Amino acid sequence: MASNELIDIRNHGVVVDPLKQKVKCNYCNKVVSNGFYRLKYHLGGIKGDVSPCLEVPVHVKEPGLAYLLTNERRQREQQMLTDYAFVHYNKQMRNFYSDIKCDDIGPSDNWKSD
């Protein structure tokens, strides 16, 4: 298997409890929560919410890890763009509203109702 091919994560774990989304790793028999989503991180060797699998074969770990890292990088880049757009929008709105003075608006008792 080439390192750029995706693996089918469902071939590397068995559902133990579908209601609680518990999946058992086929290599080390560790049971992980949050189903196959967390199993991907377990097999990819990414620490954090789950401990890495020490018995996963390289031909499974490498493509999974590459996919996860690419996906996380894409999510970080998207978040950075969103944050930038939010900050830029807030600056524009502050500039827009900074030109308006309370005297320009007038008292509310002068407003007419239809």
Q: How confident is the model at residue 108 (pLDDT cuts 50, 70, 90)?
A: low
Q: How confident is the model at residue 27 (pLDDT cuts 50, 70, 90)?
A: very high
- What pLDDT, on a 0 to 100 scale, did the predictor assign at position 14? 94
For the entire predicted model, the pTM comes to: 0.56
Average pLDDT value over all residues in the chain: 77
In three state form, how does the secondary structure of the chain look?
A: CCCCCCCCHHHCEEEEECCCCEEEECCCCCEECCHHHHHHHHHHCCCCCCCCCCCCCHHHHHHHHHHHHHHHHHHHHHHHHHHHHHHHHHHHHHHHHHCCCHHHHCCHHHCCCC
Average pLDDT over residues 32-60: 87
- Cα 34–39–40 angle (5° rounding)? 120
Per-domain residue ranges for the chain? 9-99
